[in-house]
Structure 1
């Protein structure tokens, strides 16, 4: 059978990439991730030129991120006053940058590996570039393969190898299917492929059944406030008083047995130095009712400003968590001398926050909350900082109102659930417009509020003590495994090259 022309194969890569977001929340068709990688890897083994392999990877990656992160255009249009064409161009630029990683994975596979060695290298390289993408240039972990398996059986590897190890298993399943199709005339190969798939599935389910953490203390009663404040009102000086009154009323109406009340990111949209009397009154109320308040509020310290969470525990001194992993071009401006004037043209006043430096866990009623703000929760290395400081549960405050009625909030919730599964810690998430939720230590969403309604989510979590292998060593086991597999792939490639010669 004649191989399709390269333009047709490039078109196929684009179509496969455009379907990639369907494997993630809110669609969550997790088997589709395996099917799409199967298609991409099949294209990769039918092409020998590294440059063309890079083009196939770039096509897949560009289409995937153009479709999967299109919600960024909503923010740029609604709040940066960009027309839709310019906002779309910005999304395309981001997609092109992310596509470089997929292109690199396939180029490396074609440049250094052949035959069975390439098959073995493909899933390793695919997840290694995802790992790199989450770290280089501040990082962007969206649409990483492992997140598709958050609620699937392959997610059982999460406490051991993290979500990149889960992604490696997912891509591994895809490449086994490619090998079986490639050698479909060989019964031993087909039988070996079936056995391999059963082994991976059984190992994943067995791995997911192991508990590394255990309950500590009594359940913690929490109330999560979803204020549902529109961005256009939130930063309107004329609306500040009404917003503060709204949240104070919500605080006063929480159930008597609530121990921890959590407000979203920047729920109080002004510095703590501007409302000292209100904070003093909340401290008095906290002491009287024996409730702890965790409030998203910008913090002013000297000439530095932080996107922060303020903890009020009676008359005790205020405790703070300062966001460390800031959003580029939102909370800070890279290369401010060069890019500052351009950013301030569209969003005056943005880019002025400073980087926090810990602590990453706050004491809460004898327990410790591993803190993150906004998209920090999408970065496993950021979540681990609180766990390494002894967190017994995770706590995140966010505001996804910036992204309107899009898939961004659902994608974020899925990533948060994976963090819980990796660390085997419950997660408490309070957001302005949703999705406010409680997540179990195994990544299951216990309860949640609907989006774009105001309300309070009342419930309880059981704090958990102990560390998973991932919580203790991070990505090191995954990286070691990947290194071993790549060395084996190189050996196979050299042997096959020698036999051909």
Structure 2
């Protein structure tokens, strides 16, 4: 059993990871944080001790990286402070089960000891990270691979293996440096890994098409406590109109739920006024959409200026924000939360991009851009990506900056520009290499004017998504376990 001081130290190693993500982008800190996880497990001799070590590290990691949930629950959701803080800890405690499971299996499964640190433990860690991003609709926030994007050398592997693959190589390199191998061999292998990644950063996987497109991305900066207040409804509509009138781009984008009412309830004259202000330009905006049934409604986006009014309906909803999983267990939260439209329906998994001249614009809303494989499903049809967000729920935290970094990961994985129009930030234009070309300061009402380029073609990740890395993990794990069994029982054959 680990001593309390050791467990606190492991939690501190996990918490330090928050500085490796945006807005600081100190990606070099992530290997140090991961080294703490590996070190904690290497000091144990039992699977139970490894489980506890992995859990302590994970608790520090996730509480530090999702602390901003407190703001949405308490400040805007109306939950008492003590209860909101407790929910953050409970959520972190749930998420910590995944690195704990990896630690337990990493000590329990048979494996040649020289390969346990550099291969088995990193593979199990990343496999459980994928499981965290999949189970119960998934919550892949703060993937370790995202910390290396866009400029650290291992980011070059993102268009090939995705952010999960980047994380695996990062963890494997860290484990290799800690392994009991000859120092020249360890350093040579890690140096080669990073140099190859740096080389891949300079590969242009997709092809630009046509002239750059002038885009205008609106940042409304409407306070969350005013956005859904009926007393401010007309003022909010006025803000939208003023921003459309000031916009100069050929494609104008307004953020998530820019119109804080069902489209069917908005006065037709106002919609006509918006279309008139846009003129011949395309106006794309976020708006709730009413379904056929009374309790059927969607978090949506649409091209208002297209006579056919094509829509996108958000298909990956936020647990506890847009729907409550396992209502019989968590339904009590509705008694404390004051969140409008918190029972959304899901849109279809596969939806066609918006057709705007030569641009095929694939929409995603809020934290849908956290899911790399789902964003890649819009390819090859999509020539550009657009995200509509309202992160005023977490105002004053690093959540908006962290999500911007995840959008950078999606742009790099797919080889597509990502446009981001948000209510309070971070509104930005991200190029196909995952670099922020232009952005607005947070919590300012403004319009980001810039250019984006349509691109065609497929990156390896865009073609196969997570399938290659999942197969690699499966083969590595099976090979190591079989090799471990052979060492334990030399007479057995496979």
* TM-score, normalised with respect to structure 2: 0.94
Q: How has the CA–CA distance of structure 1 residues 46 and 348 changed in structure 2, closer, same or farther, with 3 Å as cutoff?
A: closer
Residues 43-192 of structure 1: pairs in structure 2 closer than 5 A:
43-114=40-111, 115-119=113-117, 120-151=119-150, 152-179=152-179, 182-183=180-181, 189-192=182-185
Cα distance in structure 2, aligned partners of 1:20 and 1:342: 30
User: Helix, strand or coil for the counterpart of 1:211?
Assistant: coil
Give CA deviations for 1:461-488 in whole Å, capped at 9, x if unaligned: 1111011111111101111211222133
8 A contact 2:14–2:34 mirrored in 1: no
Q: How has the CA–CA distance of structure 1 residues 484 and 209 changed in structure 2, closer, same or farther, with 3 Å as cutoff?
A: farther
1:476 maps to which residue?
467
Cα distance in structure 2, aligned partners of 1:489 and 1:356: 41
Please state if 1:291 is matched with 2:291: no
Give CA deviations for 1:314-356 in whole Å, capped at 9, x if unaligned: 5x22110011111122212223455445414432654321111
8 A contact 2:263–2:288 mirrored in 1: yes
8 A contact 2:228–2:340 mirrored in 1: no
Instruction: Report the CA distance between 1:76 and its aligned residue.
Output: 0.8
Cα distance in structure 1, aligned partners of 2:386 and 2:457: 17
Cα distance in structure 2, aligned partners of 1:170 and 1:452: 34
8 A contact 1:160–1:207 mirrored in 2: no
8 A contact 2:321–2:339 mirrored in 1: no
8 A contact 2:40–2:54 mirrored in 1: no
Instruction: Report the CA distance between 1:112 and its aligned residue.
Output: 0.4
Give CA deviations for 1:102-141 in whole Å, capped at 9, x if unaligned: 1000000011034123222011111111111001011111
Instruction: Report the CA distance between 1:81 and its aligned residue.
Output: 1.5
8 A contact 1:369–1:386 mirrored in 2: no
2:216 to 215, 223, 228: 223
2:449 to 444, 458, 461: 458
Greater mean deviation of Cα atoms: 85-94 or 276-285: 276-285
Give CA deviations for 1:52-93 in whole Å, capped at 9, x if unaligned: 101111001111111111110011111222222111100001
8 A contact 2:244–2:274 mirrored in 1: no
Could you tell me which runs of 5 or more consecutive residues in structure 1 were left unpaired when the two chains were aligned: 184-188
Cα distance in structure 2, aligned partners of 1:412 and 1:97: 21
1:409 to 391, 400, 412: 400
User: Helix, strand or coil for the counterpart of 1:47?
Assistant: coil
Cα distance in structure 1, aligned partners of 2:374 and 2:195: 30
8 A contact 2:388–2:420 mirrored in 1: yes
Cα distance in structure 2, aligned partners of 1:6 and 1:360: 55
Greater mean deviation of Cα atoms: 16-25 or 418-427: 16-25
Please, what is the CA RMSD of the aligned residues?
A: 1.9
Instruction: Report the CA distance between 1:285 and its aligned residue.
Output: 4.3
2:35 maps to which residue?
38
Q: How has the CA–CA distance of structure 1 residues 232 and 348 changed in structure 2, closer, same or farther, with 3 Å as cutoff?
A: closer
1:486 maps to which residue?
477
User: Helix, strand or coil for the counterpart of 2:259?
Assistant: coil
Cα distance in structure 1, aligned partners of 2:475 and 2:436: 35
1:186 maps to which residue?
none
Give CA deviations for 1:240-289 in whole Å, capped at 9, x if unaligned: 1111111101101112xx11000000011011112222223333444xx3
Cα distance in structure 1, aligned partners of 2:60 and 2:461: 31
Residues 175-254 of structure 1: pairs in structure 2 closer than 5 A:
175-179=175-179, 182-183=180-181, 189-254=182-247
Cα distance in structure 1, aligned partners of 2:97 and 2:357: 47
Q: How has the CA–CA distance of structure 1 residues 363 and 486 changed in structure 2, closer, same or farther, with 3 Å as cutoff?
A: same
1:392 maps to which residue?
383
Instruction: Report the CA distance between 1:161 and its aligned residue.
Output: 0.3
1:265 to 256, 268, 272: 256
Q: How has the CA–CA distance of structure 1 residues 148 and 246 changed in structure 2, closer, same or farther, with 3 Å as cutoff?
A: same
Instruction: Report the CA distance between 1:360 and its aligned residue.
Output: 4.5
User: Helix, strand or coil for the counterpart of 1:60?
Assistant: helix
Q: How has the CA–CA distance of structure 1 residues 90 and 342 changed in structure 2, closer, same or farther, with 3 Å as cutoff?
A: closer
Could you tell me which runs of 5 or more consecutive residues in structure 2 were left unpaired when the two chains were aligned: none
Q: How has the CA–CA distance of structure 1 residues 103 and 270 changed in structure 2, closer, same or farther, with 3 Å as cutoff?
A: same
Greater mean deviation of Cα atoms: 295-304 or 416-425: 295-304
2:343 maps to which residue?
352
8 A contact 2:123–2:473 mirrored in 1: yes
Q: How has the CA–CA distance of structure 1 residues 98 and 337 changed in structure 2, closer, same or farther, with 3 Å as cutoff?
A: closer
Instruction: Report the CA distance between 1:204 and its aligned residue.
Output: 1.1
Instruction: Report the CA distance between 1:239 and its aligned residue.
Output: 0.7
Instruction: Report the CA distance between 1:384 and its aligned residue.
Output: 1.5
User: Helix, strand or coil for the counterpart of 1:175?
Assistant: helix
Q: How has the CA–CA distance of structure 1 residues 106 and 337 changed in structure 2, closer, same or farther, with 3 Å as cutoff?
A: closer
* TM-score, normalised with respect to structure 1: 0.93
